[in-house]
Amino acid sequence: MIAPVASWNNYPRQVCTLHRPERYREFSPDVESAIARGLGRSYGDAALNDCGHVFLSERLNRISVFDPERGVLRAEAGVSLDDLLRVIVPRGWFLPVTPGTRFVSLGGAVASDVHGKNHHCDGSFGNYVNSIQLAIPGAGTIDCSPTANPETFWATVGGMGLTGFIGEVELHLRPISSAYVQARHYAATNLEELFRHFSDPDRDAPYTVAWIDCLSAGKRLGRGVLMAGHHAALDELPVEARAKPYDLPAGRALSVPVNLPAWVLNPTCVSLFNGAYFAAQARKRAPFIADYRSFFYPLDNISHWNRMYGTRGFVQYQCVIPQAGAFDAMRKLLERIASSRHASFLAVLKRMGPAGNGMLSFPMPGYTLALDLSLRDPDLFKLLDALDELVIQHGGRVYLAKDARLSAASFRRMYPRYEEWLTVKNKLDPQHRITSSLARRLDIGGAA
């Protein structure tokens, strides 16, 4: 089927030939130019192939092995993290790393080497993958792991689907005593205080993330709320929940029914929202119990929330800055954004731990900032180009899974292991038949 396709942020929208294979062997056909696509939750063109072929993994969603004694699971790449959680949580296991939405595929989580609120403690998704089955058009299927074909493995983890089609993935899980998290919020009146919270051992927790009001400026620049939590032990649950610690309360589903007009997200509305949100979250000073869905996936409770940005869509700018210059760089980034009056109602700051082995993986030790920005502002890309320069000067990088507009030159300066990755790519796919719009825009692996 030939159709216009976009990913979560609705930009860009490109015409692709879509295939929906039922079996893994059909996932690796003999075509000139193809990319795999999971649940399309990346922001940008990583899962698009303008005028080329796109292979949807959604029907390759079988769980082949789950060992509840050891917490080891093997499943096809198209299974969603939501489906996995429904199977593993009632049996006392959780994902070792999870992004801020559970509606991503297992293959997408590997290809982006996703990180979660626990990156500062546990690293990224690839650290927990035991092995991957990889199909390369015209070259068959290979198995790889940190010990078997390790170069292929670490080029695939974080490789944005450009080394081949991921089939089955085996990973090891995290044991939990309940489906709940004990959470605690710490309000900060500005960026300095927020950084102090992040580095205060008394406020540290296995999971931490901060929401930032990126429209506040001056003395309140970077005001926000650090949200910390850990998987709740049985004795931390309310007495009535202890008998069935893995049962979840029935959720309320909200939805944004249609694309909203662009003016809804103007700076005044967002400023009002931010003020109210800050007050509400800052009020939660005492520890409280939250079910895992509302702690890890607050936005999943509002289906189609991406429609708030209207038909033109939005971009997410996510960068990471190494520890040493992180405060200084974040201050400058927030000053630029606040003074431009580009309203972002979703801005998140997070501490990151050691980098993994993925050659094109995003994380590095330091701080990452992520902002959603509406495409209603015509000069937005100029601002983001200037932010790229600042990020590069501080030794940081932009996240490819969230990117729709970075230049090839900036990509090269941000990803120093690119040449190493390219050597592996050239061996696996010398004709560069596996390609995407992102790959062509950033000149990753050459064009098909």
Q: Nearest distance from residue 138's CB to ligand FAD, in Å?
A: 16
Token pair of 88 as six digits: 């593993």
- How many CB atoms are located within 10 Å of the residue 202 CB? 6
Cβ distance to ligand FAD smaller for residue 302 or 392 = 302
Q: Nearest distance from residue 321's CB to ligand FAD, in Å?
A: 16
Nearest to 74 by CA among 82, 83, 62: 62
Cβ distance to ligand FAD smaller for residue 102 or 223 = 102
Cβ distance to ligand FAD smaller for residue 216 or 437 = 437
Q: Round to whole Å and give the CA distance between 122 and 52.
A: 37
Decide if 38 contacts 4 (C-beta within 8 A): no
Q: Nearest distance from residue 240's CB to ligand FAD, in Å?
A: 31
Cβ distance to ligand FAD smaller for residue 59 or 220 = 59
Decide if 368 contacts 352 (C-beta within 8 A): yes
Torsion region of 113: left, alpha or beta (phi above 0 gives left; psi -120 to 50 gives alpha): left
Q: Round to whole Å and give the CA distance between 92 and 249.
A: 17
Residues in the chain: 448
Cis peptide, bond prior to residue 68, ω within 30 of zero: no
Q: Round to whole Å and give the CA distance between 352 and 210.
A: 12
Cβ distance to ligand FAD smaller for residue 395 or 445 = 445
Cβ distance to ligand FAD smaller for residue 246 or 273 = 273
Look-up of token digits 């103007």: 266
Residue 266 has φ and ψ, to the nearest 5°, of: -80, 165
Nearest to 186 by CA among 205, 200, 203: 203
Q: Nearest distance from residue 114's CB to ligand FAD, in Å?
A: 3
In DSSP terms, 226 is beta-bridged to 186, 210
In DSSP terms, 136 is beta-bridged to 140
Cβ distance to ligand FAD smaller for residue 165 or 338 = 165
Q: Round to whole Å and give the CA distance between 199 and 224.
A: 15
Q: Round to whole Å and give the CA distance between 225 and 189.
A: 9
Cβ distance to ligand FAD smaller for residue 116 or 137 = 116
Answer positive or negative: Cα dihedral of 418, 387, 398, 43. negative
Q: Nearest distance from residue 350's CB to ligand FAD, in Å?
A: 8
Cβ distance to ligand FAD smaller for residue 24 or 221 = 24
Q: Nearest distance from residue 219's CB to ligand FAD, in Å?
A: 30
Nearest to 333 by CA among 321, 345, 324: 321
Cβ distance to ligand FAD smaller for residue 105 or 216 = 105
Q: Nearest distance from residue 349's CB to ligand FAD, in Å?
A: 12
Q: Nearest distance from residue 57's CB to ligand FAD, in Å?
A: 4
Host H or E run for residue 174: strand 174-175
Q: Nearest distance from residue 218's CB to ligand FAD, in Å?
A: 29
Host H or E run for residue 412: helix 408-414
- How many CB atoms are located within 10 Å of the residue 174 CB? 18
Q: Nearest distance from residue 245's CB to ligand FAD, in Å?
A: 25
The residue ranges that bind ligand FAD (CB under 6 A) are: 7-8, 35-42, 46-47, 57, 77, 99-101, 104-105, 107-109, 111-112, 114-116, 160-161, 165-166, 299, 401, 436
Cβ distance to ligand FAD smaller for residue 47 or 176 = 47
| Torsion angle defined by CA atoms of residues 66, 67, 70 and 71, in that order, rounded to the nearest 10 degrees | 20
Q: Round to whole Å and give the CA distance between 216 and 274.
A: 9
Q: How far apart are the first and last CA of the chain?
A: 21
Cβ distance to ligand FAD smaller for residue 119 or 216 = 119
